[in-house]
Copies of this chain bind each other. A is one copy, B any other.
Amino acid sequence: MADRKIISFENIKVACKNCSLATLCLPMGLAPEDVERLDAIVKRNRPLHRGDHLFRQDDSFHNLFVVKTGSVKTYAPSEDGGEQVLGFHLPGEIIGLDAILNNRHGCSAKVLETSAVCELPFDRLEDLAANVPSLQHQLYRLMSKEIADETHMLMLLGKKNAEERLAAFLLSLSNRFKRRGFSSTDFYLSMSRHEIGSYLGLAVETVSRLFTRFQDEGLVRVERKHIQIIDREGLESLVAGQRNHRDQQQAPS
């Protein structure tokens, strides 16, 4: 009891309308009274800690999750203990949309650092969306964004080499931090080299070597998890890939 009181500050729950993420998250584009209605179905839990799961593959699906602070990775575990990282999720990003299809989660989601996460019961959200066209539209938009983002990732994995992939990854993080009001040039990675490699389809050693190479070339400053972007344009021209190889031929009519 006393205990509960002491840590009660953890329970401070920011209403959607006061949340700094309102312009990236579901409330985007909603009228104030609709934000209130959305607010009424959001569950806000106490912070989770590194290693906690939001859900595991094959869990039955009830809620979508939105990162409020911290970061989360989604991944597909494989029998043999290995895993394929599918995504890293920053504040304002929605997790679980792939589970609507079968009412079952197709991947696992694990917290990378102490994080706050909002929970949205999907059936209630769906009901509300049917009555609030702008919310319905925003849901479609968010799902569309998820599709577009994954398409972008497919292109990265399909035809970019290792350095183009890592450069794109760093720029993606940089841009997302910026939108969230953090520095776009100075940030900390919450994931390991191993996880970055898994996400980008590269070996850990390759990731490590590229970080040192990028640093030697004056593109970034790397100190363990601490990243500083020194030459953003340099990274961008890497991604654009002057040195792009595969598949430059003409397609058939």
Which A residues lie at the B interface, using CB under 8 A?
Answer: 50-51, 75-76, 78, 80-84, 86, 97-101, 106-107, 126, 129-130, 133, 136-137, 139-141, 143-148, 150-151, 153-155, 157-159, 192, 194-195, 197-201, 203, 246-253
Contact = CB atoms under 8 A, between A and B. Distances in A.
Nearest to A251: B83
A113 to B, nearest CB: 12
B76 A144 contact: no
Contacts of A137: 126
A136 to B, nearest CB: 6
B248 A197 contact: no
Contacts of A249: 81-82, 194
Chain A interface helix/strand/loop/mixed: helix
Given A84-B154, A158-B199, 5 more contacts: A76-B151, A81-B249, A82-B250, A84-B155, A101-B145
22 contacts: A51-B253, A75-B251, A76-B151, A81-B249, A81-B250, A82-B248, A82-B250, A84-B158, A86-B154, A97-B144, A97-B147, A101-B145, A107-B151, A126-B133, A130-B133, A136-B136, A146-B147, A158-B199, A194-B249, A195-B251, A198-B247, A203-B246
A200 B130 CA distance: 39
Which residue, of A145, A151, A203, has the highest number of chain B Cβ atoms within 10 A? A151
A102 to B, nearest CB: 8
Nearest to A199: B158
